[in-house]
Amino acid sequence: MKKLLWSLTLFGVILILPVNGVTKFDKKEKFTDFNGTNVHQTENDVYSKAKLTMVGLTFVKNASLRSAVCLDGSPGGYHFHPGSGSGAKNWLIHLEGGGWCTDTDSCVNSKKTRHGSSKYMEKQIPFTGILSDKASENPDFYNWNRVKIRYCDGASFMGDNENKDAKLQFRGKRIWNSIITDLLWNGMEHAKQGLLSGCSAGGLAAILLCHDFKNSLYLTKKVKCLSDAGFFLDAADVAGDRSLRKLYNDLIEFQIITNQLPDDCLEHLNPTSCFFAQNIINHIKPPLFILNAAYDSWQIQESLTPKAADPSGSWSDCRSNIAKCNASQIKFFQGFRTRMVNLLGAFTEQRKNGVFLNSCFSHCQTERHDTWYSKNSPAVKNKRIAVAVGDWFFERGGAKLIDCAYPCDKTCRNLVFKR
Contacts of 272 (CB under 8 A, 6+ apart): 245, 248, 249, 252
Residue 51 confidence class, pLDDT cut points 50, 70, 90: confident
b or e along 83-112 (b: 16 or more beta carbons within 10 Å of the residue's beta carbon)? beeebebbbbbbbbbbbbbbbeebbbbbbe
pLDDT at 28 over 60: no
How confident is the model over 101-130, as pLDDT tens digits?
A: 999 999 999 999 999 999 999 999 999 999
Q: In this predicted structure, what is the pLDDT of residue 226?
A: 98
CA distance 356 to 358: 6
Q: What percent of the chain has pLDDT over 70?
A: 88
pLDDT at 8 over 80: no
pLDDT at 298 over 90: yes
Q: How confident is the model over 182-199, as a mean pLDDT?
A: 98
CA distance 372 to 358: 13
How confident is the model over 73-101, as pLDDT tens digits?
A: 999 999 999 999 999 999 999 999 999 99
Select from 234, 340, 352, 341 the least CA-distant residue to 284: 352
Which amino acid is residue 387, in one-letter code? V
- CA torsion sign, 165 to 166 to 170 to 171? positive
Q: In this predicted structure, what is the pLDDT of residue 418?
A: 87
Terminal Cα-to-Cα distance of the chain (whole angstroms): 21
CA distance 366 to 389: 10
With beta carbons less than 8 A apart as the criterion, state whether 152 and 168 touch.
no
Q: In this predicted structure, what is the pLDDT of residue 419?
A: 75
Which amino acid is residue 188, in one-letter code? M
CA distance 269 to 271: 7
CA distance 33 to 309: 28
pLDDT at 24 over 70: no
Task: Label the pairing between strands 383-384 and 379-380.
Answer: antiparallel
- CA torsion sign, 323 to 325 to 326 to 331? negative
Select from 155, 142, 213, 134 the least CA-distant residue to 181: 213
Q: In this predicted structure, what is the pLDDT of residue 206?
A: 98
Q: What percent of the chain has pLDDT over 90?
A: 87
List the catalytic residues.
Answer: 200, 296, 363
Which range is least confidently modeled, 45-54, 136-145, 247-256, 406-415? 45-54
Q: In this predicted structure, what is the pLDDT of residue 27?
A: 28
Task: Label the pairing between strands 413-417 and 13-18.
Answer: antiparallel
3-state secondary structure of 416: strand
For residue 98, report the phi and psi dihedrals to the nearest 5 degrees.
160, 25
pLDDT at 39 over 70: no
pLDDT at 328 over 70: yes
Task: For 109-129, give the DSSP string.
Answer: HHTTSTTT-GGGS-SEEE--G
pLDDT at 10 over 80: no
With beta carbons less than 8 A apart as the criterion, state whether 151 and 364 touch.
no
Tell me the whole-structure pTM to 2 decimals. Answer: 0.91
Q: In this predicted structure, what is the pLDDT of residue 48?
A: 52
Contacts of 300 (CB under 8 A, 6+ apart): 319, 322, 333, 336, 361
With beta carbons less than 8 A apart as the criterion, state whether 22 and 35 touch.
no
CA dist list (Å): 38 to 8, 12, 32, 246: 12, 6, 5, 29
How confident is the model over 227-261, as pLDDT tens digits?
A: 999 999 999 999 999 999 999 999 999 999 999 99
- CA torsion sign, 79 to 84 to 89 to 90? negative
CA distance 18 to 207: 30
Run of H or E residues at 391: helix 385-393
With beta carbons less than 8 A apart as the criterion, state whether 197 and 91 touch.
no
- Side-chain half-sphere of 224: how many Cα atoms within 13 Å? 19
Run of H or E residues at 104: helix 104-110
- How far is CA 300 from its chain centroid? 15
Q: In this predicted structure, what is the pLDDT of residue 80?
A: 98
